């Protein structure tokens, strides 16, 4: 028998336990191997459960069969890694540091998550983005003009607002991808996403009339950003940064940790994995690609990752079935309904996590052929998984990223 491999799963029971303060099995070991994995379900068809880049919350031991999967080397010289897990940004967050015992850094990372949530949240009425989206519902007197609290209207203009440096940077990133994708991805999709509630206890497809009414509003045409001033040509324009915010935040956490001298760590924001350097012994972190829909946990390949981001988008994350049809959270701003293009997921390997976050959604929206071309144009590596469970790589993937095939 092989050595046990620690695989971290997250499910709704674990999230609920964290949110309610209940105890979850104490974490004994911090792993440096992250697996793309799949599971079967009694009620959903098999492909609903391909879960890529699993969030780390509660470690579960997987004892492999008699195959050739070996235990990932998690040994470090000297002290053991330190780690913290929490529910932040409406998702599960885990920060693991391998070369420092300063636990205050972990608390500081969670505090940064709280800070950015108060900037980027679409639903928190106290957040900067919420206030910007609902600007027409608030009188001018309710906005600060002291230069301290954003957003606030720019004096002498009717449609220009001063926003924070972080919100300006994130919206600029989203607008760039929107233009490059010819609208397959549009950051001004909030009027549509607000209709779909994938987290409801009993989610339902919105009324088609409401969807059709929202579609003309889902366009960022004419939006411009000059420094920290954003011009919005219509009061109806509302942004949803859910497809890119976690990547941006992960990059900022990485900047913070590097500034504090950290050279070996993993940041995991709801499945957005960002590696700082390598393991302390100089070897890469390993990310496993689990064989889709196997009867038992079988790893198909393992990637060596050093200092890069791995982000996935797919139909498995937030979805529900109604009348036998699957509805997932990646919405087409042209139709108002989820994309149906034969893809299960797209995984992007990039230097910046914000790029991987934006491109995983955009490349999924573009479909296999155009998505592969777009990823290659943007200079990132990608893995597409289609409904026939085939893996499709960008050109040069294996030249840049070491992939070890694993026998079943």
pLDDT greater than 90 at residue 301:
no
If phi over 0 gives left and psi between -120 and 50 gives alpha, with beta otherwise, what is residue 190? alpha
Question: Which residues 6+ apart lie within 8 Å of 318 measured at CB?
Answer: 198, 199, 328, 329
Beta strands in 21-90 (DSSP E): 33-38, 50-51, 58-62, 82-88
What is the structure's pLDDT at 219? 94
In this prediction, residues 347-374 reach a mean pLDDT of: 96
Strand 33-38 with 285-290, pairing: parallel
Q: For residue 336, give both structure tokens.
A: 């108002």
What is the structure's pLDDT at 79? 76
User: Which range, of 64-73, 176-185, 382-391, averages the lowest pLDDT?
Assistant: 64-73
What is the structure's pLDDT at 144? 56
User: Model confidence over 322-339: pLDDT tens digits?
Assistant: 898 888 999 999 999 999
In this prediction, residues 136-141 reach a mean pLDDT of: 67
In this prediction, residues 217-240 reach a mean pLDDT of: 96
End-to-end Cα, the chain, rounded Å:
13
Burial of 195 per CB tally in 10 Å (0-12, 13-18, 19+): middle
Q: For residue 303, give both structure tokens.
A: 């990637």
User: Model confidence over 81-100: pLDDT tens digits?
Assistant: 999 999 998 899 999 999 99
In this prediction, residues 135-140 reach a mean pLDDT of: 73
In this prediction, residues 141-158 reach a mean pLDDT of: 76
69 close to 91: Cβ distance less than 8 angstroms: no
Q: How confident is the model at residue 10 (pLDDT cuts 50, 70, 90)?
A: very low
**198: Cα separation from own chain's centroid:** 16
Q: How confident is the model at residue 371 (pLDDT cuts 50, 70, 90)?
A: very high
In DSSP terms, which residues pair with 226 in a beta bridge?
Answer: 229
362 close to 397: Cβ distance less than 8 angstroms: no
Tokens 């070369």 found at = 99
pLDDT greater than 90 at residue 122:
yes
What is the structure's pLDDT at 59? 29
349 preceded by a cis bond (ω within 30 of 0): no
What is the structure's pLDDT at 367? 96
HEC sequence for 230-261: EECCCCCCCCCCCCCHHHHHHHHHHHHHHHCC
Q: Average model confidence (pLDDT) for the chain?
A: 80
Q: What are phi and psi of 366, to 5 degrees?
A: -75, -15
pLDDT greater than 70 at residue 312:
yes
3-state SS, residue 138:
coil
Percent of the chain having pLDDT more than 90?
61
Higher pLDDT, 34 or 265: 265
Q: For residue 23, give both structure tokens.
A: 């105890």
Higher pLDDT, 140 or 138: 138
What is the structure's pLDDT at 153? 94
Q: For residue 152, give both structure tokens.
A: 């606030």
User: Model confidence over 187-210: pLDDT tens digits?
Assistant: 999 999 999 988 888 999 999 999
pLDDT greater than 60 at residue 1:
no
Give me the numbers of helices (H) and strands (E) for the chain, helices first please. 10, 21
Q: For residue 226, give both structure tokens.
A: 């000059």
- Rounded to an integer, what distance in angstroms lies between the CA atom of residue 177 and that of residue 171? 10
Tokens 């609290």 found at = 149
Q: What angle do CA 382, 384, 388 make, to 5 degrees?
A: 160
pLDDT greater than 80 at residue 185:
yes
- Rounded to an integer, what distance in angstroms lies between the CA atom of residue 358 and that of residue 364? 10
What is the structure's pLDDT at 150? 93
Q: How confident is the model at residue 407 (pLDDT cuts 50, 70, 90)?
A: low
220 close to 188: Cβ distance less than 8 angstroms: yes
Q: Which of 41, 38, 332, 390 is nearest to 211 (CA)?
A: 332
């Amino acid at each position: 028998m092989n050595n046990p491999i620690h695989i971290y799963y997250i499910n709704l029971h674990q999230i609920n336990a964290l949110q309610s303060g209940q105890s979850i099995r104490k974490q004994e070991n911090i792993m440096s191997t992250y697996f793309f994995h799949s599971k079967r379900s009694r009620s959903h068809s098999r492909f609903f459960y391909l879960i890529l880049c699993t969030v780390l919350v509660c470690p579960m031991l997987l004892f492999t069969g008699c195959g050739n999967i070996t235990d990932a080397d998690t040994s470090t010289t000297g002290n053991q890694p330190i780690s913290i897990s929490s529910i932040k940004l409406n998702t599960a967050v885990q920060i693991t540091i391998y070369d420092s015992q300063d636990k205050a850094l972990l608390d500081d990372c969670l505090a940064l998550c709280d800070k950015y949530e108060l900037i980027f949240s679409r639903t928190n009425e106290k957040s900067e983005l919420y206030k910007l989206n609902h600007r027409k519902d608030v009188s001018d007197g309710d906005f600060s003009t002291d230069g301290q609290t954003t957003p606030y209207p720019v004096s002498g203009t009717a449609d220009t607002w001063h926003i924070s440096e972080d919100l300006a940077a994130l919206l600029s990133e989203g607008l760039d991808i929107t233009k490059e994708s010819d609208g397959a991805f549009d950051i001004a999709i909030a009027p549509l996403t607000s209709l779909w509630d994938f987290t409801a206890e009993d989610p339902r497809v919105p009324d088609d009339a409401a969807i059709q009414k929202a579609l003309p509003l889902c366009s960022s045409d004419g939006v411009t950003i000059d420094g920290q001033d954003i011009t919005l040509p219509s009061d109806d324009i509302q942004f949803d940064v859910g497809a890119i915010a976690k990547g941006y935040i992960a990059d900022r956490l990485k900047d913070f940790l590097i500034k504090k001298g950290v050279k070996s760590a993993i940041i995991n924001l709801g499945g957005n994995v960002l590696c700082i350097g390598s393991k302390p012994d100089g070897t890469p972190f390993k990310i496993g690609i689990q064989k889709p829909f196997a009867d038992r946990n079988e790893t198909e390949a393992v990637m060596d990752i050093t200092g890069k981001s791995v982000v996935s988008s797919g139909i498995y994350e937030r979805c529900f079935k109604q009348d036998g049809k699957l509805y997932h959270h990646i919405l087409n701003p042209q139709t108002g309904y989820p994309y149906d293009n034969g893809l299960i997921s797209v995984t992007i390997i990039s230097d910046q996590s914000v790029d991987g976050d934006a491109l995983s959604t955009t490349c999924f929206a573009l479909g296999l052929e155009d998505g592969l071309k777009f990823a290659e144009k943007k200079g990132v590596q990608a893995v597409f998984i289609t409904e026939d469970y085939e893996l499709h790589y960008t050109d040069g993937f294996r030249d840049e990223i070491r992939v070890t095939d694993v026998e079943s």
